Structure 1
Amino acid sequence: MRRILIGFDGSERGDDALAFGRVLANAAGAEAEPVVAIVYQAVVPKDSHGTESDYQARLRYEAEEQLARARELAPELPSEAFVAVRASSPASGLHRLAVSRGADVVVVGSSHRSALGRIWPGSATEQVLHGAPAAVAVVPAGYAGKPEEERALRSVAIAYDGSPEAKNALEQGVAIAVANGAKVAPISVVDLRMPTPIAYGYEQYVTAVRELAAVELRAAGEDVAGAADVDLIEREGDPALELAAASAGFDLLVAGSRGYGPLRRVLLGSVSSRLVREVSCPLLLLPRSAADAGDEDDAVTGGAAASA
């Protein structure tokens, strides 16, 4: 991921996004193309000729002042990497800029209401997540306040259930881990809750689900063997809760979007929407790819709902 769009709003959550965006840019090295963007509100022009109103000028000036602070926080980035965008909302501005710049990932912070170390999407963050045209990294509150050595990506967890979306997450997660010299940990969560009530056969169902999850997890390990230091993790329980609990021991959690909907869009499902509220480390949600769509009819899934 070299084209990195960082949403900055001058708040502490903007600082968090900038801090993690710099980590990603550093991993990409000389090929990195980071952009730090602040979106300010578009208002009605002063007249029919499109003359900027005094209020619009003030909003633009405030945005430029906040960008000046971002430059101080990221002095290694070139001046052209900082842009102010006028749009009807932060989400629409970032989505539009992501498309025009061909962004690989959009980095945003969590809501002002977040507890330290947890993500709680506010209106802007939640709008950016829904239907984003690129991967979205959501950074938990307080991330920028960590010492620099604690922000390094030394371990990458991947929500894995054997689905095409999870395989894409595995590929992207391993690439990030390799770029950072990090360990990678595919995590499979076996959900033993019955999809529909049955009068008999529960023990056979549990055995089958566990066996399928174990086979898929071993296959994931074989796929990435030699590329990175791999640790396969099996858990049982509610996928969102188990993945969130496991995230406390990692520097990044990678997950796919749900397995239907428009291509190349991030779509929150039941697991991912809960993950963004509970995960303790930065969360990278990947959009559906054309490959995912081509394979979805043939996918047999078990384990964690990594793309729900």
Structure 2
Amino acid sequence: MTGPVVVGVDGGLTAPDAAVLGCWLATSLGTSLIVAAVHPAPAALGSGRVDAEWVADRHRAATRVLDETKEALAGVACAIDYRTVASSSAAHGLSDLAEQVAAAYIAVGSGRDAPRERLFAGSTAERLMAGSVCPVAVAPSGLKGPLGSLNRIGVAYVDTPDGRTALTAAAELARHSGAHLRLTTVVAAGDAALPFLLGDDTERAFLDTARETYEQSLARAAADVPGVTAEWELRSGDAVDTLADLDDVDVLFCGSRGYGPARRVVLGGVSARLSRRARRPLIVVPRSG
């Protein structure tokens, strides 16, 4: 069975974007949704009375955030459970909750706009990506919908263990939602790929060989995805700029970087920058193994 989708809301202006993304994921997977507002837990040290009053105020704020979200999600088809969670940070609270319920995804907003009643300061999305046990879905500010209308799930693909893990996760969502897959590999244009090689002939030969290798790996990966229609493309340019500007996919999957603790999301340079710049929802998948 597929676990629930956990959505973190904090009263900020991008919280509705996270709710839209979380609802689409839960509906596509045929699973339930948990909407969580994380508030500060009592500190181990400090002035008891002041601390208790502050914690109580933050708990009331979290309850208000959930009430507002409940109104916004009225009529949504999937089953929704609303929870307040006490923790040392929003990222810790959401990550712990996701682990407890064996969540399929955690969905959060991008945090690009100024908060209205943000319960915690800081970038929850980036902190989650430093150690979540399940894929982290980040909704861009002002998410355009309806999600699923493009019927295409994108994968930022490289033929590495992380790239293959991202493809596997994307294929599972595609099978549930009925969407097609599109695998995209971005290669550096011109001499950006060869800063230490001299000679135009050598450079052109290397780039031609590299492109052929990428095309072969893309074609092989697309052909090996069971039960899903998959296409592929090879683009030239800056990886972050090219992937961030994709606007013809419903969501974009990418892998974590190539080292770090197994079965945890560990941000690499591309995924970290994409989480701040992508035009479409970004899903970063934990490492396997």
When normalised by structure 1's length, the TM-score is: 0.81
Which of 155, 171, 185 is 1:174 aligned to? 171
Q: Deviations over 1:187-229 (max 9, x none)?
A: 111225335502342122111111100110110121126x223
2:249 is matched by which residue type in structure 1?
A: F
Whole-angstrom distance in 1 between the partners of 2:54 and 2:48: 16
Q: Secondary structure at the match of 1:162?
A: coil
Retained in 1: the 8 A contact 2:156–2:185?
A: yes
Whole-angstrom distance in 2 between the partners of 1:150 and 1:89: 29
Whole-angstrom distance in 2 between the partners of 1:126 and 1:182: 28
Whole-angstrom distance in 2 between the partners of 1:17 and 1:136: 11
2:4 paired residue number: 3
1:219 paired residue number: 220
1:215 is matched by which residue type in structure 2?
A: Q
The alpha-carbon distance between structure 1 residues 112 and 211, as it changes in their structure 2 partners (threshold 3 A), is closer
The alpha-carbon distance between structure 1 residues 35 and 150, as it changes in their structure 2 partners (threshold 3 A), is closer
1:300 paired residue number: none
1:164 is matched by which residue type in structure 2?
A: P
1:270 is matched by which residue type in structure 2?
A: G
Alignment of 1:1-308 (within 5 A): 2-29=3-30, 32-44=31-43, 53-75=52-74, 76=76, 78=79, 81-113=81-113, 123-143=123-143, 146-147=144-145, 149-150=146-147, 152=149, 154-192=151-189, 193-194=192-193, 196-200=195-199, 201-224=202-225, 227-245=227-245, 247-290=246-289
Retained in 1: the 8 A contact 2:186–2:235?
A: yes
Retained in 2: the 8 A contact 1:2–1:28?
A: no
Whole-angstrom distance in 2 between the partners of 1:122 and 1:48: 24
Whole-angstrom distance in 1 between the partners of 2:166 and 2:132: 16
Retained in 2: the 8 A contact 1:153–1:180?
A: no
Whole-angstrom distance in 2 between the partners of 1:46 and 1:166: 44
When normalised by structure 2's length, the TM-score is: 0.86
2:28 is matched by which residue type in structure 1?
A: A
The alpha-carbon distance between structure 1 residues 97 and 51, as it changes in their structure 2 partners (threshold 3 A), is farther
The alpha-carbon distance between structure 1 residues 262 and 52, as it changes in their structure 2 partners (threshold 3 A), is same
Whole-angstrom distance in 2 between the partners of 1:161 and 1:268: 15
Whole-angstrom distance in 1 between the partners of 2:25 and 2:155: 17
Gaps of 5+ in 1: 115-120, 291-308
Q: Secondary structure at the match of 1:243?
A: helix
Residue 36 of structure 1 deviates from its aligned partner by 0.8
Whole-angstrom distance in 2 between the partners of 1:204 and 1:3: 49
The alpha-carbon distance between structure 1 residues 123 and 204, as it changes in their structure 2 partners (threshold 3 A), is same
Whole-angstrom distance in 1 between the partners of 2:194 and 2:177: 39
